Structure 1
Amino acid sequence: MKLILALAAFIGAMLIATAAYVFLVLAPDLPALDAITYYQPKIPLRIYTADNALIGEFGEEHRDFVPIKDIPDVMKNALLSIEDARFYEHHGVDFIGAGRALVADLGGGFHQGASTITMQVARNFFLSQEKTITRKIKEILLTFRIEAALNKDQILELYMNQIYLGQRTHGFSSAAKTYFGKPLNQVTLAEAAMLAGIPQNPVRHNPAVNFQRAKQRQMLVLKSMLNKGMITEAQFDEASHEHLTVTGKQIYDAHADYVAEMVRQNIVAEYKDAAYTSGIKVYTTLLKADQDAAYEAVRKNIMDYDQRHGYRGPEAFITLPADEDERDDAIDEVLKKHPANDKLIAAVVTNASSKVVQAETASGENIEINGDGLRFANSALQSKAKSDLKIIPGAIIRVIQDAKMRWSITQLPEVEGAYVSLNAQTGAYRALVGGFDFNRKKFNHVTSAFRQPGSSIKPFIYSAALEKGYSPATLINDVQLSSTTEESLKWDPRNDDGKYDGPVTMRSALAQSKNVVSVRILKNIGVNTALEWLPHFGFSKDKHPNNLTLALGTGQVTPVQLATGYAVFANGGYQITPWLISKITDARGKVLSETKAPAVAQDSDRVIDSRNAFITDSMLREVALRGTGAAADQKLGRHDIAGKTGTSSEAVDGWFAGYADNIVAVAWMGYDDPKSLGGREFGATLALPIWIDSMRVSLAGKPETQRNAPEGVSNVEGDWMYTEFLNGAGVKGVDLDEASAATPAASTGQAVTP
């Protein structure tokens, strides 16, 4: 009896000591609940188009905050069924489950399954993951405090927005976008069950990493929902067999990686590290439809060019082990080094003949390519193909699937391209594609690639000539310089097609991109005159040569500079400054800064006379109507397009710059390591198709526009000229080459110039 009393006294003393330790030592040391009562989740920087399409996200964590009222019931039910079915009934601690956990602790084990939602909130917000009795007691104490401070919906809201779910993703809203590419309110029962299965072990049950284990966990969730009466047998069967497509990465509403990076750099420079965690939202001037069209146009036409120039062979080769498991490991390992490039998927060839190729992709899918799908790589399937070209088992190839789910062999292009469009009145960006693929090459060709503009510089030379008395009807001798002078010429420029038409009008010469005519014009107005004229359009003089090659575009411009220059012709003579960010808000929607569109047509912004802009515009329309850019008018079915093709020496760069309906745009194609694009390639074959495909969307539904003639111009015998030069003798201000005596041209007083 004494032993029992002694034991009881000892137990009582231990309980008192434990209680004292808990309430005098542990309880006072518990953290304050500010982190949950004033919840400030780390929300990443997000970047949008003007019409609210998400184009970029940057931050330590992928997370959205979604109020509990906006979380769909199917998601809440799936989670509670597997994590805490009695959540709305208990007061934070399931004592039976907690007792089991404590016993497991004493025995050296640990069962987190006993934790309620509230206990998990306590652990995730305030405690470490160490598995000790002390930490478990603190967790229980914090749980009671949380239940006293918040109601059940608030606790569940915290959990569902904070919990880690793999792939740097926190919260179920971001997880739905990451794994299934859709907002949380659109997830199906099957998808919700798979998401609900992740919290127990975000590594093991990550569907992007281990789909089979995620599927097994999903089935447990669905069975739990069925057993608890949350779903019917029919719903269970349908969800069990639903095919799920898992992406495993953030899916954006539009492809605008280069723009997102431009904005990120700007915001981080201003807000420092807070840019990544405070939920800043940035709204750009881009339009989703224009951006999507530009992205697809750049990729499609680069791929078309690449296909025209032949198959270069597999990306790499590996030896396939005979053992099946080792073989799978080898395939998985090599494909990690060859990630998918949008729709261009890497695959390892497992069997190859001239009739059929079998290959395995990173997802483990075994595909078969035959028929037309082999055409592009036909030379690599012949028995006599060179070893570095031949497709054999172990070759890493690129494949693409068409709308009818048929596979074809393709390849990653080496050539680059770019496209930019601006509002010609305000300078706001409408679309920007800085290269074929941002993840492969982050260099932004639109803003940073200085390239030779070729003939796309000619309109600016012609514009300078208008100020010297030229007009579109002025006749210029289209013959080689060497045929009209006795001088010893170090440089005797030629027309690209080798054809010379004798006296031609300036209008015709620009439309047909006559090199010799452009050089003759520049020779007569003077190189310095042209160099002083270029800054009116935003070009830097020091980027252009102080010699006659300037007329053929041997200087350097970026695509956005060229677009800014053409905008001056498009808007009637005003220089614009491209701008991208229209509004910045904090996480609650408060406007931090806002940029209004600049006022249009301010006299202080005028850089050329309205007469000059009007007449140059009329010549640029001729280019698109009957000249080297005629495909634009023909394929877009409108006659208000103005623009100019450009091909630099040896076809190293291909350009098209043009505009319609206050949209000015430039397309470019070329190699980063400059080399010829091919003897039969020109701006009209390289860049103009990109421009057409992009502008087809931008101009859809917009009526054609015509420009009214400004004061001070006269139409004489079907063409325009400055009224002040109407009755002038010859070409005002031009020093004529004595070897080519100028003769009057018609009744306008125009002259044949050297």
Structure 2
Amino acid sequence: MPRFSRLLRWALLAAAGLAVLGVIALGTVYYLVSPTLPEVETLHDVELQEPMYVYARDGRLMAVFGETRRYPVQIEAVPERLKQAFIAIEDNRFYEHHGVDYVGVGRAVWLLATTDDQRVPGGSTITQQVARQFFLSSEYSYTRKIAEMMLAWRMERELSKEEIFELYLNKGFFGNRSYGVAAAAEFYYGKGLDQLDLDEMATLAGVPKHPSSGNPLSNPERARLRRDYILRRMEALGYISEAEMSRAQAVPMHATPHEPPIQLYAPYVSEMVRREMIARFGAEALTKGYHVTTTIDPEMQRAANQAIRDGLVLYDRRHGWHGVEQHFDLADGDGADVVRARLRTIPTQTDMLPAIVLGIEGSSATLVLRSGREITLGSDDGFGGRSPASLLKRGDLVRVRRATTGPDGKEQAGASPEYKLTQIPRAQSALVSLEAETGALRALSGGFSFAGSKFNRATQARRQPGSSFKPFLYAAALERGFNPASIVLDAPVVFQDRRGHVWRPQNDGGKFSGPMRLREALVRSKNLVSVRLLDAIGVDYARKYISHFGFEESSLPPNLSMSLGTASLTPLSIARGYATFANGGFRVTPWFIQQVKDRDGAVVFEEDPLTACPRCGSGQRRAVASQAGGSVVEGFNLGPVASAPKPAEPKASKPAEPVTPPADMKVAPRAIDARVAYQIVSMTRDVVQRGTGTKAKVLGREDVAGKTGSTNDYRDAWFSGFGGNLVTTVWVGRDNFEGLGRGEYGGKAALPIWIDYMRVALEGRPIAANEPPEGMVEVSVSANGSLLPAGSGGIAEWIKTEDLERMQSYAAFDDASAAEAAQAEETFDIF
């Protein structure tokens, strides 16, 4: 046999042997690897991580929560040019191979054999990349590569090319927490996929190779080079013309960060939603693409934000300059670049920009903003009439605000920005506003700036409500037999406990008015009347009764100090309590999540709130638990006995026609007698008309009612009230419990914020009626509480029917006492 033939035979045998060994090796690998591979069928129902979206009641976006930005898109919504850009750079034979590109694999093997490189480009198709993204780790090994190829084969049998491509475009990481091409398009260009230009498409296609170090923000030059290469590949493959390529390559890199377009700033509410969603659905609530619609009204929320900002700034200006936020020691050569670095981590709060003083010259000061811009504050740009130079020195961290205004005081469009020195208020505030009938939250703000402090004072701060707590105590007294015309003595009283501790409660200014009607006592916020009331009805009874408003009984002090509002309560709980008065006596539960939809638009949760229904059913006027103990007025000493004329045929309230609530309505439980609620509403309306809340008369509505509140040393200032069936509570104070300053009562510090908010919130709302419910009679009384014959004039009062006989048998005071009770006195509210 010729030598050549023998060599050929041995070569063929060797090749066959190698092939057999290869088949055996591949079979062995398949046998070992195949059982460990996941089922690719799961890709039919894959759930990509998506953030959680929070909306106002009208659909405006309030917040986006989640570690990843991702907006999955259907492959049909992806422009053809964008798909071609990815195919050109990643896998130009994608529609030809069956998961593995053997040409690419052969090229990669050749490079491994002929170079010293441990890793070589090529070899991974789009299908293989999807397999790696969903099922495999990022380690570089032959075993992982084989598993990747086997998964790619399986995927091509199970899924269509378009389904695989859709997974690829939605799964990939594009840097800056952006996952998927849609999220990348929005973040880098602020555009939807259908709005992208050719150069932008090519840029995005180049990002997944180096998402952190090669994206157009972190390394624009590297991203440009890759963009231009992708455009050349697209031209070579016939996807674009040479002219299109040239025009796209000539476009400068222009990517900038674009966060989701937040349409309503309500960070405290958004954080409440985040916590509630995690509590209901677990930590995965932030990654399953839930869409949460809240009860928040955009216009009311904006009004709340602005009212708190304006109110606290006004308060702060009353108390003058309180110093710089911080001081940095700057070296002689430190300029704007060094100063700018110090400002990098200091956030803007509302419209107050952080700035560091670079230098002082004359009465002016040069400051550097976080952007690196240098600004100059002139002698008139200081604070409280003082020049910047008299307040600042080099290295001081301060706040400035834009103040480009015209002669009318309004900001002029297009004018060069001017800046004024300002400061972050030392006081904080909270505002809660909800619907009285349902408890639906319409607006909430937990502080001056969420960037400055994430502590939500509306729901987390427990502060003493002072006199704004008195309506709850008065309601307990009205339930026990008192009425708005009952006479209680406003005079000094001393209490001593078993340990010998003496307590002498005081009115503001130490003045006393003697015997006076309860209505007047509430209007003028008399502390001594409140103390005597609580002493008369009993602390234990009062705590039990007041707990029906939604307060924890354990949170109410078990002593007479409770009458002055010494309980530690949140603004939200106070607003909930006032809603009971406004809705006719029902206890509603505040709520703020209206509906939750999953990523496919299916409703997974919808709130069905408890709703007040004053006319539902009959015989439901009184809260059963509140009747325990009966009347106590019989044992209360009102003064010397005098004859009291009996009125003839007093006017009775008209019984309301009972209605049957809709089958799908959940009626809220009754908390207090509807008649007591009516009386408190009537009395708190008088607080606005002629008492401590008279500033609210500026709203020009007869249905506005409320009560101021302040505490010792001016630590807390409150106003809680309602109008148009909207209940709102405002608190002002300092987080460190220091006083707000002398004279900062509820009517001065909190009420202006309440008025500014309610002026917007009540616009277009009908006047809320306050009709006496069934079981009441109208009587006439004198200024000293004496019952007058019908038709003889006097002061009209609606009282409970069962209280009429008691009034007829009780005494009135003599003329001298009555005159004393009617003395005019300037109204203050200290507790």
TM-score, length-scaled by structure 1: 0.80
Q: Cα deviations across residues 71-112 of structure 1 (Å, max 9, x unaligned)?
A: 466765665566556655766566666655445444206455
Please tell me the residue identity of whatever aligns with 1:619: M
Please tell me the residue identity of whatever aligns with 1:491: R
Q: Distance in 2 between matches of 1:730 and 1:250?
A: 65
Which residue pairs with 2:364 in the alignment?
A: 355
Which residue pairs with 1:749 in the alignment?
A: none
Please tell me the residue identity of whatever aligns with 1:719: A
Deviation of 1:472 (Å): 4.2
Equivalent position SS for 1:554: coil
Q: Distance in 2 between matches of 1:194 and 1:374?
A: 46
Please tell me the residue identity of whatever aligns with 2:212: V
Q: Distance in 1 between matches of 2:733 and 2:777?
A: 40
Mapping 1:254-269, distance limit 5 Å? 254-269=264-279
Deviation of 1:191 (Å): 6.5
Which residue pairs with 2:382 in the alignment?
A: 375
Is 1:452 the counterpart of 2:456 in the alignment?
Answer: no
Which residue pairs with 2:777 in the alignment?
A: 713
Q: 1:570 aligns with which of 574, 582, 585?
A: 582
Deviation of 1:562 (Å): 0.6
Is 1:64 the counterpart of 2:71 in the alignment?
Answer: yes
Equivalent position SS for 2:468: helix
Q: Distance in 2 between matches of 1:410 and 1:220?
A: 52
Q: 2:45 aligns with which of 38, 42, 48?
A: 38
Which residue pairs with 1:294 in the alignment?
A: 304
Q: Distance in 2 between matches of 1:570 and 1:731?
A: 30
Deviation of 1:14 (Å): 5.5
Please tell me the residue identity of whatever aligns with 2:75: I
Query: Contact between 2:597 and 2:605, CA under 8 Å: does it hold in 1?
Result: yes
Q: Distance in 2 between matches of 1:720 and 1:401?
A: 54
Q: 1:645 aligns with which of 708, 714, 717?
A: 708
Deviation of 1:153 (Å): 2.4
Deviation of 1:655 (Å): 1.3
For structure 1, which segment, 364-373 or 165-174, has the greater mean C-alpha deviation from structure 2 after superposition? Answer: 364-373
For structure 1, which segment, 278-287 or 469-478, has the greater mean C-alpha deviation from structure 2 after superposition? Answer: 469-478
Q: 1:152 aligns with which of 161, 169, 182?
A: 161
Is 1:203 the counterpart of 2:207 in the alignment?
Answer: no
Is 1:552 the counterpart of 2:564 in the alignment?
Answer: yes
Query: Contact between 2:470 and 2:563, CA under 8 Å: does it hold in 1?
Result: yes
Equivalent position SS for 1:169: coil
Is 1:429 the counterpart of 2:441 in the alignment?
Answer: yes
Q: Distance in 2 between matches of 1:144 and 1:61?
A: 30
Please tell me the residue identity of whatever aligns with 1:161: N
Which residue pairs with 1:691 in the alignment?
A: 754
Please tell me the residue identity of whatever aligns with 2:683: M
Which residue pairs with 1:724 in the alignment?
A: 801
Equivalent position SS for 2:722: strand
Is 1:229 the counterpart of 2:236 in the alignment?
Answer: no
Deviation of 1:193 (Å): 6.0
The 1:682/1:9 distance shift into structure 2, 3 A limit, reads farther
Deviation of 1:454 (Å): 1.3
TM-score, length-scaled by structure 2: 0.73
Which residue pairs with 1:616 in the alignment?
A: 680
Aligned length: 726
Q: Cα deviations across residues 163-218 of structure 1 (Å, max 9, x unaligned)?
A: 11233332234445555677666767776666544322221245665677667767
Equivalent position SS for 2:29: helix
The 1:618/1:59 distance shift into structure 2, 3 A limit, reads same
For structure 1, which segment, 147-156 or 232-241, has the greater mean C-alpha deviation from structure 2 after superposition? Answer: 232-241
Q: Distance in 2 between matches of 1:236 and 1:661?
A: 61
Q: Cα deviations across residues 440-491 of structure 1 (Å, max 9, x unaligned)?
A: 5444322332211012112223333434555545666767669xxxxx9852
Which residue pairs with 1:752 in the alignment?
A: none
Mapping 1:200-599, distance limit 5 Å? 200-206=209-215, 228-229=239-240, 240=251, 245-247=256-258, 252-309=262-319, 310-319=321-330, 322=333, 328=337, 331-332=340-341, 334-341=342-349, 343-353=351-361, 354-361=363-370, 364-371=371-378, 374-376=381-383, 381-382=388-389, 385=391, 390-392=392-394, 394-401=395-402, 405-438=417-450, 440-467=452-479, 470-472=482-484, 490-495=503-508, 506-519=518-531, 521-522=533-534, 530-599=542-611
Which residue pairs with 1:750 in the alignment?
A: none
Deviation of 1:70 (Å): 3.8
Q: Distance in 1 between matches of 2:493 and 2:349?
A: 50
The 1:163/1:690 distance shift into structure 2, 3 A limit, reads farther
Please tell me the residue identity of whatever aligns with 1:680: G
The 1:132/1:400 distance shift into structure 2, 3 A limit, reads farther
Query: Contact between 1:725 and 1:732, CA under 8 Å: does it hold in 2?
Result: no
Alpha carbon RMSD of aligned pairs, Å?
A: 4.6
Query: Contact between 1:352 and 1:358, CA under 8 Å: does it hold in 2?
Result: no
The 1:699/1:51 distance shift into structure 2, 3 A limit, reads same
The 1:652/1:39 distance shift into structure 2, 3 A limit, reads same
Q: Distance in 2 between matches of 1:14 and 1:330?
A: 70
The 1:42/1:519 distance shift into structure 2, 3 A limit, reads same
For structure 1, which segment, 87-96 or 617-626, has the greater mean C-alpha deviation from structure 2 after superposition? Answer: 87-96
The 1:14/1:76 distance shift into structure 2, 3 A limit, reads same
Please tell me the residue identity of whatever aligns with 2:508: N
Instruction: Structure 1 unaligned segments of length 5 or more: list them.
Output: 483-487, 747-754
The 1:7/1:691 distance shift into structure 2, 3 A limit, reads farther
Which residue pairs with 1:25 in the alignment?
A: 29
Please tell me the residue identity of whatever aligns with 1:616: I
Q: Distance in 2 between matches of 1:679 and 1:49?
A: 39
Please tell me the residue identity of whatever aligns with 2:673: D
Q: Distance in 2 between matches of 1:706 and 1:313?
A: 50
Q: Distance in 1 between matches of 2:40 and 2:171?
A: 15
Q: Distance in 2 between matches of 1:685 and 1:242?
A: 55
Q: Distance in 1 between matches of 2:189 and 2:697?
A: 42
Please tell me the residue identity of whatever aligns with 1:319: L
Equivalent position SS for 1:687: helix
Query: Contact between 1:77 and 1:230, CA under 8 Å: does it hold in 2?
Result: no
The 1:28/1:653 distance shift into structure 2, 3 A limit, reads same
Equivalent position SS for 1:120: helix
Query: Contact between 2:585 and 2:672, CA under 8 Å: does it hold in 1?
Result: yes
The 1:639/1:739 distance shift into structure 2, 3 A limit, reads closer
Query: Contact between 1:469 and 1:732, CA under 8 Å: does it hold in 2?
Result: no
Equivalent position SS for 2:458: helix
Q: Cα deviations across residues 23-76 of structure 1 (Å, max 9, x unaligned)?
A: 652587253423533323234455444444454555554433332234466765
Mapping 1:79-90, distance limit 5 Å? 83=90
Percent identity between matched residues is: 37
Please tell me the residue identity of whatever aligns with 2:777: V
Equivalent position SS for 1:167: coil
